[in-house]
């Protein structure tokens, strides 16, 4: 059974999708802890409702990003995770952190990376006149939203879409692709090779040109 630790900052709808997926019992994994940098994150309540231990660690209690990440690493490592999952964890991570979890750290981002790293992705896609948008699951590296791609979900931007409507539709995609990527990893089908190539069933996935 693979041990998963999920990091959140907010609503935790992706966490919920992961928990619902694991509850089906087909994926050999369990979420052993949910950690938030915000004590009022609704995702913590979702975790408690599922009987999962929760931890809240505020970045505001630390004098530096390095000090916060060091404490966060200690907390995560006390869970002995096989995989660490960023699910709306809105903190930039230090190189020490991303290196420590290299090959076992996932993120989900609300755009078709490498487009629109950072914030306000839905608005930026609409303003650019894009016809396509979506979400990406990727391995986390030192480069913000720049690690090797695992899977993307894609949708059409409709003329009547606004940032809120797009966010809602992208969320639905996220709830499909994140459990899928986690399932691949937990079934030992997905690995990150030392040269940064993502292997699914020993075959290379196409590079995103990050
Ligand atoms: C998701 O849309 C996720 O892609 C995004 O935060 C949202 C969290 O929603 N993450 C980022 O923007 C990270 N750069 P949730 O709390 O309902 O899962």
Residue 137's SS3 state is strand
The token pair that represents 186 in the structure block: 């937990």
Q: Residue 152: CB within 6 Å of ligand 1?
A: no
Q: Residue 11: CB within 6 Å of ligand 1?
A: yes
What pTM was estimated for this model as a whole?
0.96
198-200 β-sheet, strand order: 190-192, 198-200, 203-204
Q: Residue 153: CB within 6 Å of ligand 1?
A: no
Q: What is the pLDDT of residues 159-184, one digit of tens each?
A: 999 999 999 999 999 999 999 999 99
Q: Return binding residues.
A: 12-14, 65, 90-93, 107
- What is the spatial distance between Cα 51 and Cα 89, in angstroms, rounded to a whole number? 21
Burial of 190 (0-12, 13-18, 19+ CB in 10 A): buried
- Residue owning the nearest CA to atom 14 of ligand 1: 109
Known active-site residue 133: no
Mutate to test the pocket of ligand 1, among 16, 18, 20, 88 (most ligand atoms within 8 A of CB): 88
What are the start-end ranges of the H helices in 59-131? 65-77, 95-100, 121-127
Q: What is the ipTM of this complex?
A: 0.99
Q: What is the pLDDT of residues 52-90, one digit of tens each?
A: 999 999 999 999 999 999 999 999 999 999 999 999 999
Ligand 1 centroid–CA 109 distance in Å is: 6
Residue 175's SS3 state is helix
Q: Residue 13: CB within 6 Å of ligand 1?
A: yes
CA 187 from centre of chain: 18
Q: Residue 136: CB within 6 Å of ligand 1?
A: no
Ligand 1 centroid–CA 183 distance in Å is: 19
List of residues 6+ apart from 20 with CB closer than 8 A: 179
Ligand 1 centroid–CA 204 distance in Å is: 27
Q: What is the pLDDT of residue 209?
A: 47
Burial of 31 (0-12, 13-18, 19+ CB in 10 A): buried
């Amino acid at each position: 059974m693979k041990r998963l630790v999920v990091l959140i900052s907010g609503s935790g709808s992706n966490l919920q999708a992961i928990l619902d997926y694991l509850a089906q019992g087909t994926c050999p994994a369990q979420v052993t802890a949910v950690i938030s940098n915000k004590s009022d994150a609704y995702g913590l309540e979702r975790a408690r409702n599922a009987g999962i231990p929760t931890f809240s660690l505020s970045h505001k209690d630390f004098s530096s990003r390095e000090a916060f990440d060091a404490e966060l690493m200690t907390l995560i490592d006390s869970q002995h995770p096989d995989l660490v999952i960023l699910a709306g964890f809105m903190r930039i991570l230090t190189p020490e952190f991303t290196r420590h979890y290299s090959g076992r750290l996932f993120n989900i981002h609300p755009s078709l990376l490498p487009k629109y790293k950072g914030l306000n992705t839905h608005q930026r896609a609409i303003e650019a006149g894009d016809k396509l948008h979506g979400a990406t699951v990727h391995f986390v590296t030192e480069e913000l939203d720049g690690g090797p791609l695992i899977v993307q979900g894609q949708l059409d931007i409709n003329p009547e879409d606004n940032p809120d409507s797009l966010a809602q539709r992208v969320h639905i995609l996220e709830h499909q692709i994140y459990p899928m990527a986690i399932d691949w990893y937990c079934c030992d089908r997905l690995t990150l090779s030392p040269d940064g190539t993502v292997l699914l069933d020993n075959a290379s996935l196409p590079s995103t040109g990050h």
